[in-house]
Amino acid sequence: MIAGGDSHTCTYGALGAFGTGLGSTDIAFCLAFGWFWQAVPATVRVEFVGSRERFVTGKDLILAVLAQIGVAGGNGHVLEFTGPAVSGLSVDERLAVANMAVEAGAETGLFPADEVTAQYLQGRARSPWKAERSDPDASFARTVRVDLSGLPPLVACPDSPGNVRPVAEVRGQRVDQVYVGNCSNGTLTDLRQAAEVLRGRRVHPRCRAIVVPATYGIYRQAMEEGLIATFLEAGAVVAPPTCGACFGGHMGVLAAGEVAVTTTNRNFRGRMGSPEAGVYLANAWVAAAAAVAGELVHPADVVGGGGP
């Protein structure tokens, strides 16, 4: 179990750990005494089945969950992500899914540790670890099934992560700013996807593009792979790892009337700046395509490869 001072501590669930966000007083208690009190919540089983199409990522999977259960559908529960499609999700994608479990009100979101987890932890784990899984006869509060077959890239429209629609339904929406980063989708996988869209292209003249790698390790690797150069050549701004504009702090705060497409995890009214701004949540493919087009489009409209 991991206690953190941020609601998105649930991101640790991508590695099979129970991560939960606590308030400042509880965190101070943990630091002083080394333990905290946690009720054992009931579990909602989320089954991912089917084969996904290109341009569909972990971001779309969790948005599909939110579309089904809503922003209160996980209140007081743990979301356990399982099903035959899970083995095809990289840890970077699992991070995006687990990160946004709290947007459904869940205590945390967990992926049972598997071979993908073990490979990721090689060379990273600082102490012995043990894979934990639900018992074969475990009971669940309910089961939610998400079929990836035919699932399109999705966006969460203003002003709720649960206001989910296919990107094709909002095609043509003007975009003033694109933001690729955040603890949800600032991974190397996300940066590679954004770079594939931006390589050899330019950010639209009416649009700003900001890229924020999630960690300095990711930043360094992105530099070695030439991704940072690709972003700069396309006209994007690359910022140091930070929460930045995600919580309306700095580096991309929105003005009244502006519209942003962002890979972050929350789009509440006023979240990224002015209460009169609009924020769409999307995966890195969609965000980068919007930066090139200056409006919301299907990524295939920019890079080809099919799509509605």
244 and 212 in contact (C-beta within 8 Å)? yes
Residue 6 in any domain: the answer is yes
Structure tokens belonging to residue 12: 């640790």
> Which of the residues in the chain have pLDDT under 70?
306-308
pLDDT for 18: 94
* 98, 110 contact by CB (below 8 A): yes
Strands 19-21 and 108-110: unpaired
Q: Which of 147, 169, 189 is the last residue of a domain?
A: 147
| CATH assignment of the domain containing 40 | 3.30.499.10
Read off the pLDDT of residues 275-295 as tens digits, 9 standing for 90 and up.
999 999 999 999 999 999 999
What are the percentages of helix, strand and coil residues in the chain, rounded to 5?
35, 20, 45
What is the model's pLDDT at position 308?
61
Structure tokens that stand for 114 in this block: 């598997």
Give how many domains the chain has, as a whole number.
Answer: 2
- Containing domain of residue 123, as a range? 2-147
Same domain, 101 and 167: no
> Is the same domain home to 114 and 206?
no
The two three-digit tokens of residue 289, written as one number: 């395509």
Q: Decide if 200 is inside a domain.
A: yes
Whether residues 174 and 128 share a domain: the answer is: no
Picking from 147, 176, 205, the residue at the C-terminal end of a domain is 147
What's the confidence (pLDDT) of residue 21? 94
| Domain assignment of residue 21, yes or no | yes
